[in-house]
Structure 1
Amino acid sequence: MDLKELSMGLDSLWVMVATILVIGMQVGFALLEAGSTRMKNSAHVAGKQILSFAIASIAFWAVGFAVTFGKGNPFIGTEGWFLKEGKDTFASLDWANVPLSLKFLFQLAFVGVSLAIAWGGFAERAKLSVYFIFGIIFTIAIYPVIGHWVWGGGWLGSMGMQDFAGSTVVHLQGAIAALIATILLGPRIGKFNKDKTPNMIPGHNQVYTVIGGLVLWIGWFGFNAGSTMGTADGFFGYVALTTNLAAAAGAVAAILTAKILVGKADIPAMVNGVLAALVAITAACAFVEPWAAVVIGAAAGSFTFWTSVYFEKKGIDDPVCAFSVHGIAGIIGTISTGFFASPRLVEITGIGKAGLLYGGGFEQLIVQTVGVIGAAVYVAIVSFIVLFVLKKTIGLRVTAEQEISGLDISEHGSYGYPEQLDPAYMNAVNLKTTNASSH
């Protein structure tokens, strides 16, 4: 085996490990979102992670990957359907020294994360059929377009936009879709009083929420460090370092902010602080120094808690704070490189220019801002059109009776916690126990 083959083998192994870590984030989302919602919807909320990743896998293989990375124009890829490779079909990924199959699987894992984020805005009141239809459209016509603009040789990438692992491409996209869904669906029954004041609807299991957050934190090492898609220079270790520092800062900042603003060291707020910091550093992880990673993480963790409270007061019922955690933090992270991008790291990555604080002027800041606005507007418009049409045709929301009884029983026929929620189940168990003891 020569040096080239050895290098490719090591890179391929690393990308496969990173892919598994990112796909494993679906476990984190399942636990986090199920724990953050009510018991009567827990199986539905967790189970949709499998459904959405299955839908994304097929749709991205057939169409989405080609639109994202296929040869085309500055706006969309037009070649490479069903992963069919031709001359220069996927030239935008030639920098990665791994087989096409691994390139696809790694990028698919990102789509799965973005779609999981979007579902946060649908939680506890959307029809199951909507997940099928919107999931397919999101995977073939929403996510891939922004992905192409930034990573696939599109116009934002040509401008030098710095989004190393997807604060905008992955997180902001999912968050905007979640926000549009939240607005069109309307609040959950009982969330707001007649005077518009919010009622607290706590999640049923904070332990699940914490474990889910930890799983996501671990998976993020595959998300960010894996985006190097190589091992030769060890740069993936540096990316992992900035990622971890930001997450730690986000946790501390969020719980302190909660204590100051509401008087309690809120545990879900701390978990969201970790996630917000990870979202923010996702764009910047390869471009900023460690001290800047701490600043970015702390800012995202703190500001996300404040915005989640603010949006709730404004009548937006976002059950898992998807827009605050992934949208607001995604904007913070993407814009941050316009300030903090280090000249030495810009030279290493070869993307964009140094930030304002390093004497780079406003050029990179303007590029980052244009990228955020462009992506947000496109995703908002397309998501609104698709969801509005669905609302007027098949409907987005389950009936009031179904929502009150819970989506576990109304959509799937059984509760995630039958012994606690289903009287018929308990009666049957008690009857069997009585009959057994009588003998």
Structure 2
Amino acid sequence: MEGVTLTTNNVWMMICTALVFFMHLGFSFLEIGLTRQKNTINILFKNVFIICIGLLLYCLVGFNLMYPGSFIAGVIPDYFFNLFGLSAPFKEGALDLSYNEGYTYWTDFLFQGMFAATAATIVSGAVAERIKLGSFMLFTVLYVGIVYPIAGSWKWGGGFLDKWGFYDFAGSTLVHSVGGWAAIVAVFLLGPRIGKFNDKGEVQAIPGHNILLAAAGVFILWLGWFGFNGGSVLSADPAATSLTLVTTSLAAASGGIAAFVVSALIYKNYDLTMFLNGILGGLVGITAGADLMTPTDAILIGLIAGGIIVAGVSFIDRLRLDDPVGAIAVHLICGIWGTLAVGVFGSKAGLTQLFTQLFGVLIIGTFCLLTAFLFLYTIKKTIGLRVSKQEELQGLDKHEHGMDAYPDFRLNQH
């Protein structure tokens, strides 16, 4: 029976791994759809690079930083780990298939590795259409390779936040806010796209070129979140998994409804992009406590997240920060809300838990802001962050890739 349970849990975890991998297509579609045609290949290139380098970095560096003890210790001598206070885990029996009672060692690595690249994907959307590709790739290597796993180790690796009682089930803070903090620093240092604000500081809309792709991306992300949150149960336990998927879906639905209603009341139109980002805001908001909430709790968390999206997008614009896809409102602001919601709703609700959640947000936020600023400011002062005015106006596809995502095919006239 134990073998059957291990196999069942392991298969479920691998399915969830595939769903989280699929989310990267959703992020790509969303980012492409909400930006202009002339930067499509550049965005695709960044997203392909993120998942490839993210997995390699997580294997070589991240897994051992986040969970001290991984297979890379078979390559690097023990003294390296002792030097940094880490244990060298690659001992005899470390690859035992009964890694724990839920799933195998390799499944654990692959599932966690899929999360690692998401932080950089969040940044990619916020800096779209004006960042140098080489600069973005260098930042991704530094942030995904070092910052994400260190922050994650403080909770998921059994670090001091875990000992304090900080709770983040699937990453409202440890994944989404980690990416969101870097995004706000990057947007600040880059400056807005040409034409985003006029001389009076008024916002000028720069419409995305394919809302169909953006909508498809959101539906793919919603589906992928079943793996993101469902896999974070770390087993195929029927009760826990079912509840998690229910709360995830209800928060997404209520987040979308709240965003479109609030947006319609304020702006007197039915804004599909706000509706879509409201869904994502609800998903991010429920992620910290999806296993703790009742369906009613999830709906309330989603409703508040949807309202936060509308206010957050407007607030970012008023700060003259240009975020083409709304990544900061979705991942940072709703990530903070979702983390704090653990102390307000659900089985852990209470003043002590709320303050613990707040301290966790502040500590991780400070760490991410400082490291992101250090990396990005250094890059800006050395190789530069932003493309030239001519490159931005003509499009990054032409200048950085020499390609066109939508070549003009014409039938030969005879």
- Report the TM range for the smaller structure's normalisation: over 0.9
Task: Decide whether aligned partners of structure 1 residues 294 and 94 sit closer, same or farther in structure 2, where only a CA change above 3 A counts.
Answer: farther
Q: What residue identity is the alignment partner of 1:355?
A: A
| 1:240-288 deviation line (CA, Å, top 9, x unaligned) | 0100110110111010011011111100000000000000100010111
Large movers: runs of 4+ above 4 Å: 87-90, 93-96
Matched residue, 1:404: 393
Deviation at 1:401, TM superposition (A): 0.7
By how many angstroms is 1:166 displaced? 0.3
Task: Decide which of 108, 117, 121 is 1:116's aligned counterpart.
Answer: 121
* Residues 208/286 of structure 1: CA separation in 2 closer, same or farther (3 Å cut): same
Structure 2: segments with no counterpart, 5+ residues: 71-80
Q: Is the 8 A contact 1:28 1:213 kept in 2?
A: yes
1:300 corresponds, among 305, 324, 328, to 305
Equivalenced residues, count: 400
Equivalent residue, structure 2, for 1:34: 32
Q: Which residue of 2 aligns with 1:355?
A: 349
CA distance in 1, matches of 2:275, 2:41: 24
Show CA shifts across 1:215-236 (max 9, x none). Answer: 0000000000111121145311
Deviates more, 1:245-254 or 1:224-233: 224-233
Distance in 2, matches of 1:94 and 1:331, equals 33
Aligned-residue RMSD, C-alpha: 2.0
Match of 1:288 among 288, 293, 317: 293
Deviations 1:110-145 (A, max 9, x none): 112222112122210111102221111111211011
Matching residue of 1:63: 61
Structure 2 CA distance for aligned equivalents of residues 77 and 133 of structure 1: 27
Structure-2 change in CA distance of 1:195 and 1:240 (3 Å) = same
Unaligned runs of 5+ in 1: 343-353, 357-361, 420-425
Cα distance in 1 for residues equivalent to 2:297 and 2:401: 47
Q: How far, CA to CA, are the matches of 1:136 and 1:47 in structure 2?
A: 15
Listed one character per residue, the Cα deviations across residues 37-87 of structure 1 (whole Å, up to 9, x for unaligned) are: 0011112112321111111111110001110011599xx88346xxx6337
| % identical aligned pairs | 36
Q: Which residue of 1 aligns with 2:262?
A: 257
Superposed displacement of residue 174, structure 1: 0.5
Are 1:271 and 2:276 counterparts? yes
1:415 and 2:413 correspond = no
* Residue 194 of structure 2 corresponds to residue 194 of structure 1: no
CA distance in 2, matches of 1:149, 1:96: 23
The answer for the alignment partner of 1:381 in structure 2 is 370
User: 3-state DSSP class of the match of 1:40?
Assistant: helix
Q: Aligned to 1:328, which of 309, 333, 347?
A: 333
From the superposition, tell whether residues 411 and 79 of structure 1 become closer, same or farther in structure 2 (CA, over 3 Å).
farther
Q: Is the 8 A contact 1:120 1:320 kept in 2?
A: yes
Q: What is the CA–CA distance in structure 2 between the aligned matches of 1:99 and 1:138, rounded to whole Å?
A: 27
Equivalent residues in 2 for 1:225-240, closer than 5 Å: 225-240=230-245
Tell me which of the two structures has the higher relative contact order, counting C-alpha pairs closer than 8 angstroms and 6 or more residues apart: 2
Q: Does the 8 A contact of 1:67 with 1:79 survive in 2?
A: no
The question of whether the paired residues in 1 share the 8 Å contact of 2:20 and 2:225 is answered with: yes
2:333 and 2:368 map into 1 onto residues whose CA distance is 15
What is the aligned partner in structure 2 of residue 175 from structure 1? Answer: 180
Cα distance between partner residues in 2 of 1:200 and 1:192: 9
CA–CA distance in structure 2, aligned partners of residues 71 and 364 of structure 1? 30
Tell me whether 236-245 or 226-235 shows the greater mean CA deviation.
226-235
Question: If the length of structure 1 is used for normalisation, what is the TM-score?
Answer: 0.88
Secondary structure of 2:344's match?
A: helix
Map of 1:369 onto structure 2 = 358
Distance 2:392 2:256 in 1: 33
Secondary structure of the structure 1 residue equivalent to 2:155: helix
Whole-Å separation in 1 of the counterparts to 2:359 and 2:345: 17
1:402 CA drift (Å): 0.7
Partner Cα separation in structure 2 for residue 396 and residue 252 of structure 1: 37
For 1:283 and 1:191, locate their aligned partners in 2 and report how far apart those are by CA, in whole Å.
34
Q: For the residues of structure 2 that align with 1:281 and 1:294, how far apart are their CA atoms?
A: 9
